[in-house]
């Protein structure tokens, strides 16, 4: 993607009513439409969605394919896709606006900052779909199912709220199970190292992103883990 195209998309994001951004990791403030600062912590339903429906986050959402799919299939819920890449978020946000999907929003920020932007018990559910597995052991704390991140989610995930991981990466799948076995915050509900080898346990697993289809074409198996905040 050319630099000019990226700059245009960054400019577009400032006009999108369904996108909020944080530009500075050391200054956790959200910027909304037309560059105005906005405080949505604990107020996403009241000030953005204008309803009291449950909120689901998709972390590392990329172009927002899964967020869009979840939002289309569940109009009785609200969905927020989170990613640090603005050019990726642009696509999902643009589609949501064009389709009139008012139950979908996007947040551009580092996932480490989420507790600055969501209040206690504000989030009902989290999806982590095909995240970077950070295969080097020295970067294991950057995996979105590491204990560091599991402790972050507690700050805004409701009691009994679910976290879902969908991945093609065996190492991340096994790492997640090992991490869950060695902590007391969450209870493992389900895990499957090849979800398409039998009936799917929940309909949301039927959604497939561009990259998942690529993984399947290469013969990779798709793994799934679901765990619940105690």
Range 44-60 average pLDDT: 98
Quick one: tokens of 65? 């394919």
- Mean pLDDT (the chain) is 95
Question: Does residue 4 carry a pLDDT above 90?
Answer: no
The single residue of 39, 47, 121, 132 carrying the catalytic annotation is: 132
Give the per-residue pLDDT at 40: 98
Query: Do 141 and 148 meet the contact criterion of CB atoms below 8 Å apart?
Result: yes
Q: CA distances (Å), 175 to each of 76, 133, 147, in order?
A: 33, 10, 11
Q: What's the pLDDT band for 161 if we cut at 50, 70, 90?
A: very high
| pLDDT tens digits for range 173-209 | 999 999 999 999 999 999 999 999 999 999 999 999 9
**CATH code at 3-229:** 3.40.50.150
Share of the chain above pLDDT 90, in %: 91
Question: Does residue 133 carry a pLDDT above 70?
Answer: yes
Q: What's the pLDDT band for 2 if we cut at 50, 70, 90?
A: low
Give the per-residue pLDDT at 7: 84
Q: CA distances (Å), 218 to each of 36, 107, 181, 225, in order?
A: 45, 31, 31, 22
Quick one: tokens of 99? 């389709």
| pLDDT tens digits for range 76-131 | 999 999 999 999 999 999 999 999 999 999 999 999 999 999 999 999 999 999 99
Share of the chain above pLDDT 70, in %: 98
Query: Do 193 and 172 meet the contact criterion of CB atoms below 8 Å apart?
Result: no
State which H helix or E strand residue 31 sits in: strand 30-31
Is 132 part of the annotated catalytic residue set?
Answer: yes
């Amino acid at each position: 993607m050319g630099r000019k195209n990226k700059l245009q998309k960054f400019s577009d994001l400032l006009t999108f009513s369904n996108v909020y951004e944080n530009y500075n990791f050391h200054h956790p403030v959200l910027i909304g439409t037309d560059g105005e600062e906005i405080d949505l912590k604990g107020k996403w339903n009241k000030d953005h969605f204008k309803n009291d429906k449950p909120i689901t986050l998709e972390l590392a959402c990329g172009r927002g394919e899964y967020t869009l799919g979840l939002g289309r299939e569940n109009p009785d819920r609200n969905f927020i896709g989170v990613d640090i890449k603005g050019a990726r978020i642009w696509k999902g946000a643009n589609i949501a606006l064009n389709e009139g999907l008012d139950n979908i929003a996007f947040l551009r920020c580092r996932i480490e900052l989420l507790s600055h932007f969501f209040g206690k018990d504000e989030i009902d559910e989290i999806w982590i779909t095909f995240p970077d597995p950070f295969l080097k052991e020295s970067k294991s704390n950057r995996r979105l199912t590491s204990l560091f991140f599991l402790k972050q989610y507690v700050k805004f995930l409701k009691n009994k709220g679910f976290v879902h991981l969908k991945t093609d990466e065996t190492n991340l799948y096994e790492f997640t199970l090992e991490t869950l076995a060695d902590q007391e915050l969450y209870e493992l509900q389900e895990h499957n190292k090849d979800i398409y080898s039998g009936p799917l346990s929940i309909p949301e697993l039927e959604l497939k992103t561009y990259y998942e289809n690529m993984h399947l074409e290469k013969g990779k198996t798709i793994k799934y883990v679901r765990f619940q905040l105690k």
